[in-house]
Structure 1
Amino acid sequence: MERLNLEGWLPIRVWQPTAEWQVDWCWFGDAPLHQPFFREAVEERLRLPFNQAFRRQTPLSALVDWQAGRPGLAPSAFIFHASRCGSTLISQMLARLDNHIVVSEPPPLDALLRSDLPASARRAAIAGLLSAYGQQRRGVEQRLVIKLDAWNIGELALLRELYPQTPWLFVYREPLEIAVSHLRRPGMHMVPGMIGASVLDDGLPFEGQENYIARRLGRLLETGLAQCREWAGLAVNYSELPDAMAGHLADFFALEGGQRQQVFAAAGQHAKQPSQVFVGDGADKQREASALLREQVEQWAREPYAALERLRQA
């Protein structure tokens, strides 16, 4: 495929059907990414007759060719998180800004970060992928923000190799409230075997859902803490949101004066269900937590959470 034919197309899947990796592309044109998650934007675009009639598939090398030919914006910030803790609220607030491209948990990035590609090929493919996401499809975009999957905190070092100057933050929350959320509706990384090998694995046997969720959450917080210490990440507690987007987070994302007010148009909405009004649920989750869940969270997740709080407040 000629380079010109990829303008306005975004990579929606990378996979390895045989020996050679492949990339699926979807036509977005100048449509912005306003949905809470990238996969939701993809589902919406795939319903268009054009995308149902015309598919684009290339070798993985097309991503490298893209960056070499006409690179898009480089990432201006990375958002890492402990899941169910406000990271989607941050990304949705930024998505309100016309000059921001916000790509939230794109599956192709996770696939490449945790792939078994040779190191040089993996780095080149990731750089090409993010360059494709950084296309200035409407001509006004100036910043590219990437929100990663929760477990990708384990791959931070690889992204630091590629983008050593790009600032990043780690969002977290009172662990009992995160655990209750996953007990209600488990995320992919809280279901045994769902996401494959990751930094969350501890080698211990499954001993019930409460134990498993608490252990995985503890690993998430421990890894986030270690990465913040090693790579100078900004620790952000859910309790600071959304107000911090008018203060130190506005500085972190380099928001201008008018943008600091504009982002709050999304603050009253439920981040994952924009049609609903956001209502804080921390007290409800605290009441809902069982004695067993409290015990497991105290055992596995309380210490790294407390250490993150000390780091944040230092």
Structure 2
Amino acid sequence: MVPIGVNHESGLVSWYDLGHHHIYEGSYQRALSSHQAIMSIQSSRPPDTAITTRLLDIIDINIAERDPDLFIFHMSRCGSTLLTKALAQCRRNNVIGEPGVVFPAIHYLRMQNAQDEMVKRSMRSLFSALGRQRLDTHGNYIVKLSSLETFAIPILKAIYPGSKMLFVYRHPVEVIISNLKKPASFIGHRVNPWQANAFEQAAAMDDAEYLAAHIGNCMDEALRSVHEGFYVLDYADLTAENFGTILDKLCLAFRDEEQRNMQRQFEQYSKSDFKKRRFIPDGEEKRNSASEKVQKLYESRLQDRYHRLRNAPNNLFNQP
């Protein structure tokens, strides 16, 4: 059984039997939907997803401890799905893409005024359950979180001091334009996990202003995270040619055939599960299509942060 949801008000964790299924998709939720559809066809009835437990009780469940080897954070629409999906093509990687349980779990624990030790034990149990070894080949355990969950970097680093962490970012204008064309779900909710009771302030912003604030928060968190084992990666450097170097710097070793198979993902559009859709670079087009307002938001709020990340000593492509 693996956790598939946490209710941020009741603290109830929903569970699902994923069996020996390997997740190739960059999205945990899409993988679950695909598996449920397959199981419904095979058994002629919907699979059972009604099993729940209280979040605070999962520390008492006998779950084999499994620490993530790598956490992937990002600022939205910046190549994290591409990286996650490429890694997932190797069956030695147990890759969980945006499971949707971290933000509500931490929110619930905060509302319960849980002590640090209880937060640590609860989150460790939750991640161990997510990373349950479903295949004999599974070795590396990799978790990509949502851009909203970038706020949790210091929390997770305290819980997992030995896990590597990677923050993927992109030219902010490209991220804003991508989200204005096809808004991510968090934009409509105007969530701001960095500040309590910040909804009204965020609700007063238009989409471009909110995105600039969100991207700025994500970049600030990455810039504050200078501890050992934390790295940043620009989308511009996330290429098939650089993929081997990225793996080496993250201490992820693979056979040549496995690496070539993962690199093929760079030829495909990462948001599509159909391999016939080819990827077409569009960064320059997005920057050129930016309105005067978006350009001013970038220059006044985001440009300095972006350049600081480019020149950061923990940037993978500034490393000796």
TM-score of the pair, normalised by structure 2:
0.85
CA contact (8 A) 1:214 1:296 kept: yes
Deviation at 1:70, TM superposition (A): 4.2
- The aligned residue for residue 27 of structure 1 is 17
Q: Is residue 75–residue 219 contact of structure 2 (8 Å, CA) maintained in 1?
A: yes
Partner of 2:282: 281
Deviation at 1:189, TM superposition (A): 3.4
Partner residue, 2:214: 216
| CA deviation after TM superposition for structure 1 residue 120, in Å | 2.7
Asked whether the 8 Å contact 2:212–2:297 carries over to 1, the reply is: yes
Cα distance in 1 between the residues matched to 2:194 and 2:186: 9
Displacement after TM superposition at 1:15 (Å):
1.5
1:79 equivalent to 2:75? Answer: no
Change (3 A) 1:179 1:53: closer
Distance 1:140 1:65, change over 3 A: farther
SS at match of 1:284: helix
Q: Count residues with an aligned counterpart.
A: 300
Q: 1:184, CA displacement in angstroms? A: 1.0
Q: Equivalents in 2 of 1:162, 1:70: separation in Å?
A: 17
SS of the residue 1:110 aligns to:
helix
Residue 140 of structure 1: CA displacement?
A: 1.5
How far did residue 24 of structure 1 move?
1.0
**Which of 51, 59, 84 is equivalent to 1:64?**
59
1:1-314 equivalent positions in 2, closer than 5 A = 9-15=1-7, 18=10, 21-47=11-37, 48-49=39-40, 52=46, 54=48, 55-61=50-56, 63-66=58-61, 69-115=62-108, 116=110, 117=112, 118=114, 119-191=116-188, 193-195=189-191, 197-198=193-194, 204=201, 206-227=204-225, 229-230=226-227, 233-242=230-239, 243-258=241-256, 259-275=258-274, 276-311=277-312, 312=315, 313=318
Alignment-derived partner of residue 4 in structure 1? none
CA–CA separation in structure 1 for the residues paired with 2:211 and 2:75: 12
Closer/same/farther in 2, CA of residues 218 and 70 from structure 1, 3 Å limit: closer
TM-score normalised by length of structure 1:
0.87
Q: Give distance in 1, aligned partners of 2:47 and 2:224.
A: 47
Report how far residue 230 of structure 1 moved: 4.4
User: 1:52/1:194 Cα in 2 relative to 1: closer, same or farther (>3 Å)?
Assistant: farther
Contact 2:4 2:100 in 1 (8 A): yes
Give the partner amino acid of 1:103.
I
User: Partners in 2 of 1:199 and 1:86 — Cα distance?
Assistant: 26
Shift of 1:265: 2.3
Q: Is the 8 Å Cα contact of residues 27 and 45 (structure 1) preserved in structure 2?
A: no
Unaligned runs of 5+ in 1: 1-8
Give, in angstroms, the shift of residue 33 of structure 1. Answer: 1.2
- Is the 2:194–2:217 Cα contact (8 Å) retained in structure 1? no
Look up the match of 1:6.
Answer: none
In structure 2, stretches of 5+ residues that fail to align are: none
Q: Hey, which bits of structure 1, 4+ residues long, moved more than 4 A?
A: 199-205
Q: Deviations over 1:97-136 (max 9, x none)?
A: 1111000111112211333240333222211111112212
- Quote the Cα distance in structure 2 between the aligned partners of 1:202 and 1:231: 34
Shift of 1:85: 0.7
When residues 287 and 138 of structure 1 are mapped into structure 2, their CA distance, relative to the original with a 3 A threshold, is same
Q: Is the 8 A contact 1:246 1:261 kept in 2?
A: no
Inter-partner Cα distance in structure 2 for 1:40 and 1:110: 18
Paired with 2:210 and 2:191, the residues of 1 have a C-alpha distance of 14
